[in-house]
């Protein structure tokens, strides 16, 4: 800082809060991105499983893993369960994507508010400087 330039404590505090918020939001966005990638991968696996089960010939025995055992299950039941899982995964992906957009928008708004505050302070100090010169 240059000598003679007063430190605006409110502005300094606002910058500190914005920096903390940016770090926090960036971590949350990264976490959401990671979870979205995981859900998309699970969705891809479910789609491939459904495709393979639908292409099996009639009469093939299909076993579903349940805990520590395997149960003989009808193919249409497995396909129904897979479709249900796909629906839930798509919902989660949409939910996380919307939350990510909200966080990004919220961060952008905070940054814009801080810019406006800096601009307002700058205009105010210029106005005061002109007022002192006029006297």
Domains of the chain in sequence order: 21-134 (1.10.287.370)
Locus of tokens 């495709």 = 51
> Which pLDDT tens digit goes with each residue over 39-93?
999 999 999 999 999 999 988 999 999 999 999 999 999 999 999 999 999 999 9
Q: Residue 109 and residue 104: Cα distance in Å, rounded?
A: 9
- d(CA 108, CA 112) in angstroms, rounded, equals 6
Residues 6+ apart with CB under 8 A from 53: 62, 75, 78, 79, 82
pTM for the structure as a whole: 0.74
């Amino acid at each position: 800082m240059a000598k003679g330039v007063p430190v605006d404590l409110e502005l300094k505090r606002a910058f500190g809060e914005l920096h903390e918020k940016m770090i926090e939001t960036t971590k949350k966005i990264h976490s959401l991105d990671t979870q979205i990638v995981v859900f998309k991968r699970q969705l891809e696996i479910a789609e491939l499983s459904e495709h393979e089960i639908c292409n099996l010939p009639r009469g093939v025995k299909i076993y579903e893993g349940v805990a520590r055992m395997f149960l003989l299950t009808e193919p249409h039941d497995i396909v129904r369960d897979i479709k249900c899982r796909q629906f839930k995964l798509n919902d989660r992906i949409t939910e996380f994507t919307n939350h990510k957009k909200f966080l990004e928008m919220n961060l952008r708004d905070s940054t814009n508010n801080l810019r406006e505050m800096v601009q307002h302070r700058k205009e105010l100090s210029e106005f005061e400087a002109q007022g002192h010169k006029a006297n």
